[in-house]
DNA sequence: GCCGGTCGATTGACTGGTCAATCAGCCAGT
DNA sequence: ACTGGCTGATTGACCAGTCAATCGACCGGC
C-alpha cells in the first residue's frame, strides 16, 4: 500500500477553516486560529495551501461548482420552468440546511464581498446568474413566463431574494427551523412566479 | 463677521473616505489614504473621528437614516400598497443613481457585511426590513396582497431583489444606464407584485 | 494700535502590536 | 539512513492610533 494517511490533514484544515471563518469572519481569523482548531501545527497550513486566502478559495470553489452543476443539470431536465426555479431554490436552501457554516462563509465572505475577496470569483458567480437567466429565458420562449422582464434581471431578483433569506437566517433576522426552510423554498418561487397580488 | 470656516475639513474627510472606501474597500484602505485623498494631515482624521471605523459608521448612519425616514414617510401616505413599494424601490435606486460610490460603500461594507462591521448596525438594518414588512402586512389587510406569504418574508425578498440589482450595477454584472435605473424600479415592483407568470 | 496670551485646529514622525509567511530542522515509517 | 509529512519559533512588513509641537484666529489690557 503506497499511501494511507490515517487522517486527511488537508481536509481537517479545510473543515476547521469553515468553523473558524463562520465564527469570526475571514479577516478576523489568524492562520494560527485555523491550525489550532484543526489540531495541527501552524506551518502545516502552509504545507497544503499557499496562503490563508487560498483556503477560503478552495472552500468556495468546492461548493460553488456543486451549485453550478446543480443549476445546469436542472436546466437539462424536462420539468416546467417554474419547477426548475423551484429546484434551484431548493438546492440552495438545502445547502444551507445541510451545512450552514459553510454557506455562511461563502455568502458572507465571497458572494456578498465581491469587492475584496469575491472579485476573483466574479466570473463563476456571474455564471450562476446567467444559468438562472437561461431558465427564465426558455420559460419566456415557451410562454410560461411573461416576456417583458429581462431574463438576467429576473434572475438577479430571484437569486437576490434567496440570498437575502439565507442572510436573514445567518444573522437571526428571520426564524430558521426545518419548516421555515421548506416554506421558504415554496414561498420564494410563489412570490417570484405568482407575485404578491392575488390572482 | 464672526466665523467663516474656509472649508469644512470634517466633511472633506468624509467625502474623501467615500471615494477611497468605494475604490479599495474598507479593509484595504489605510487611514493615510483617506487623509491624502482629503488633502489633510494624517492626524486630523483622529481629531474628528475616534477611529477609521467611526468614519464608516458616520457615512452609514447619515444615509441609512434617510432611507428609514423615506420608508416610514411613504407608509404614512394614502397610496396603494403597491405604490408604496414602488416608492421604496424608487428611493433606493435613486440613492444609487445620485451617489453610487456612497451606496456602494454602504451595501458592500455594511449591509452585506453584517458579519464584521455591519453587526453593529443590525438593529437599524432590521428596522428597514420591518418597515417594509409593515407595508406588506397592511396591504394584506386591505386585500391588496395575498395573505399566505409572511410579511417579513416578502419584505426580505423584495429588499433582497433590489439590493442584488444594486450589486449587479456595482460590479458590472448588469448594464447601468439611466433607462436601466428607471426600468429597474418598475420591474422589481412588477416582478414582486405581479409575478413572472402571465396573468 | 500693539503685544502677549489662550485655545482649538492642524501637522506628521513615531511606536507598539499584530500576523502572514518562511525556514531550518525533526521524526515516523519504510 | 532516507524521505517527506510535519513542526513552531522567528522574521519582516505593515498600519492604526498617539502625541508633542506648530499654527493662526481672536481677545483683552495698556
**Nearest partner of A93 among A123, A67, A111, A116, judged by Cα:** A67
Residue B197: the pLDDT is 83
Chain A 50-69 residues whose Cβ is under 7 Å from strand C: 50-53
For residue B116, what pLDDT band results from cuts at 50, 70 and 90? confident
Q: How far apart are CA A75 and CA B153, in angstroms?
A: 27
Supply the pLDDT for residue A170: 94
Identify the pLDDT of residue B3: 36
Confidence bin at A4 (pLDDT 50/70/90): very low
**Greater model confidence, B68 or A120:** B68
The answer to whether residue B51 scores a pLDDT higher than 60 is yes
Least Cα distance to B22 among B96, B100, B111, B97 occurs for B100
Instruction: Report pLDDT digits (tens) over B7-47.
Output: 789 999 999 999 999 999 999 999 999 999 999 999 999 99
The model's pLDDT over A130-178, given as tens digits with 9 standing for 90+, comes to 999 999 999 999 999 999 999 999 999 999 999 999 999 999 999 999 9
Average pLDDT in chain A: 93
Q: What is the DSSP letter of B116?
A: T
Longest dimension (CA), chain B: 67
- Return d(Cα A158, Cα A156) in angstroms, integer: 5
Which B-chain residues 77-96 have CB contacts (< 8 A) with chain A? 82
Per-residue pLDDT tens digits for A51-86: 999 999 999 999 999 999 999 999 999 999 999 999
Asked if B126's CB is within 8 angstroms of A173's CB, the reply is yes
The answer to whether A141 contacts chain B (CB < 8 Å) is no
Q: What is the pLDDT of residues B128-154, one digit of tens each?
A: 999 999 999 999 999 999 999 999 999
Distance B189 CA to D2 C1' (A): 71
Tell me how close the Cα of B7 comes to any Cα of chain A, in angstroms: 32
* Cβ contact A68:A127 at 8 Å: yes
- Percent of chain A at pLDDT > 90 equals 89
Q: What pLDDT is attached to residue B196?
A: 80
Distance CA B159, CA B132 (A): 8
* A-B contacts at Cβ under 8 angstroms: 164
A52 CA, D19 C1': separation in Å? 36
**CB-neighbour burial class of residue B76 (10 A; exposed 0-12, middle 13-18, buried 19+):** exposed
Q: Which chain A residues 83-112 have CB under 7 A to strand C?
A: none
Tell which phi-psi region holds residue B3, choosing left (phi > 0), alpha (psi between -120 and 50) or beta.
beta
**Judging by beta carbons within 10 Å of its beta carbon (0-12, 13-18, 19+), is residue A84 exposed, middle or buried?**
buried
Q: Do A153 and B165 touch (CB under 8 A)?
A: yes
Q: How far apart are CA A134 and CA B151, in angstroms?
A: 30
> Look-up: residue for cell 446567467?
A130
Average pLDDT value for chain B: 93
pLDDT classification of A48: cutoffs 50, 70, 90: very high
> Cell 431536465 appears where?
A77
* Tally of residues, chain A: 199
Residue B117: pLDDT band (50, 70, 90) is confident
Q: Tell me, what's the pLDDT at B195?
A: 83
**Residue A159 has which C-alpha cell?**
437569486
For residue B7, say whether its CB is under 7 Å from any atom of strand D. no
Residue A102 pLDDT greater than 80, yes or no: yes
Q: Does residue A31 belong to the interface with chain B, where contact is any CB pair within 8 Å?
A: no
Tell me, what DSSP letter sits at residue A111? I
Amino acid at each position: 500500500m503506497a499511501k494511507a494517511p490515517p487522517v486527511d490533514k488537508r481536509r481537517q484544515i479545510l473543515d476547521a477553516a469553515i468553523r473558524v471563518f463562520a465564527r469570526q469572519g475571514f479577516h478576523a481569523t489568524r492562520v494560527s486560529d485555523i491550525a489550532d482548531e484543526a489540531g495541527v501545527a501552524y506551518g502545516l497550513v502552509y504545507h497544503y495551501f499557499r496562503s490563508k486566502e487560498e483556503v477560503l478559495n478552495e472552500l468556495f470553489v468546492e461548493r460553488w461548482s456543486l451549485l453550478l452543476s446543480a443549476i445546469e443539470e436542472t436546466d437539462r431536465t424536462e420539468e416546467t420552468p417554474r419547477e426548475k426555479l423551484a429546484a434551484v431554490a431548493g438546492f440552495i436552501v438545502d445547502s444551507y440546511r445541510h451545512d450552514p457554516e459553510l454557506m455562511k462563509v461563502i455568502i458572507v465572505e465571497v458572494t456578498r464581498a465581491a469587492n475584496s475577496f469575491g472579485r476573483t470569483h466574479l466570473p463563476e458567480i456571474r455564471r450562476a446568474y446567467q444559468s438562472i437567466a437561461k431558465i427564465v429565458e426558455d420559460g419566456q420562449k415557451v410562454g410560461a413566463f411573461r416576456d417583458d422582464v429581462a431574463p438576467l434581471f429576473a434572475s438577479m431578483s430571484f437569486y437576490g431574494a434567496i440570498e437575502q433569506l439565507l442572510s436573514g437566517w445567518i444573522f437571526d433576522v428571520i426564524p430558521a427551523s426545518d419548516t421555515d426552510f421548506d416554506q421558504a423554498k415554496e414561498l420564494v418561487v410563489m412570490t417570484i412566479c405568482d407575485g404578491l397580488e392575488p390572482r
